[in-house]
């Protein structure tokens, strides 16, 4: 079991010890999306949703999700988050009357561990919030894919997803 970082010498799960790691500036960018029909799209952009401004609520939810990551993911360390920034971009897909909301989160910290999970939790929480606020219009919305786009800092170095 010694090759697995989240298991102790008895094969039991543990949180990795980061006390000997150096703090450094770390950043992670994650993406997700919600694919929806034209009626949901028009409801969001026209700000006609009965529950309020969908993107504003999703943005706050994403920030809150990033801040709660250690409470949701068992082996994540609670870390000081320096910033969380979510952005939304609309894409009209080739299919007739199908729209995709692309959600991107950039999370930064100065810590001994990275913020990949916080960025992923931010976009997932934002996507789930969009779904929740719009499900009365169409329950057929699709969430995802959700993925890490890039990260920088830390011992493992930089990573950038190859989108080809």
So what's the pLDDT on residue 127? Answer: 98
So what's the pLDDT on residue 11? Answer: 76
If you average pLDDT over residues 41-55, what whole number do you get?
A: 95
So what's the pLDDT on residue 88? Answer: 98
Using a pLDDT cut of 70, give the percent of the chain over it: 96
Residue 124 inside a domain? The answer is yes
Least confident of 92-101, 117-126, 142-151: 92-101
Residue 69 inside a domain? The answer is yes
Of the pLDDT bands very low, low, confident and very high (cuts 50, 70, 90), residue 56 is very high
Q: What is the CATH number of the domain that holds 106?
A: 3.30.70.640
Residue 61 inside a domain? The answer is yes
Write the pLDDT tens digit of every residue in 14-33.
778 788 888 999 999 999 99
Residue 164 inside a domain? The answer is no
Closest CA to 79 of 51, 117, 47: 117
Residue 53's domain spans which residues? 26-153
Helices (H), the chain: 38-45, 54-67, 69-72, 116-134
- Omega of the bond prior to 145 within 30 degrees of 0, cis? yes
Active-site residue 138, yes or no?
Answer: no
Domain tally for the chain?
1
- Gap between the Cα atoms of 70 and 75, Å rounded: 7
Residue 1 has pLDDT above 50, yes or no: no
Give the global pTM: 0.91
Tokens 């199908």 appear where?
98
If you average pLDDT over residues 1-9, what whole number do you get?
A: 64
- The residue annotated as part of the active site, out of 3, 132, 138, 158, is 132
So what's the pLDDT on residue 46? Answer: 96
Of the pLDDT bands very low, low, confident and very high (cuts 50, 70, 90), residue 3 is low
- Gap between the Cα atoms of 141 and 131, Å rounded: 7
Residue 96 inside a domain? The answer is yes
Write the pLDDT tens digit of every residue in 65-110.
999 999 999 989 999 999 999 999 999 997 778 999 999 999 999 9
Residue 158 inside a domain? The answer is no
């Amino acid at each position: 079991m010694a090759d697995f970082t989240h298991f102790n010498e008895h094969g039991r799960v543990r949180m990795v010890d980061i006390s000997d790691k150096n703090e450094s500036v770390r950043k992670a960018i994650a993406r997700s999306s919600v694919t929806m029909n034209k009626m949901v799209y028009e409801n969001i952009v026209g700000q006609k949703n009965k529950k309020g401004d969908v993107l504003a609520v999703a943005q706050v939810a994403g920030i809150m999700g990033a801040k709660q990551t250690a409470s949701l993911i068992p082996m994540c360390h609670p870390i000081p988050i320096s910033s969380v920034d979510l952005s939304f971009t609309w894409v009209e897909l080739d299919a007739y009357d199908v729209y995709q909301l692309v959600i991107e989160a950039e999370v930064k910290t100065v810590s001994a561990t990275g913020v990949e999970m916080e960025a992923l939790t931010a976009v997932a929480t934002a996507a789930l919030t969009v779904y929740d606020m719009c499900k009365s219009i169409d329950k057929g919305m699709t969430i995802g894919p959700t993925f890490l786009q890039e990260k920088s800092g830390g011992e493992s170095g930089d990573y950038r997803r190859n989108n080809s």
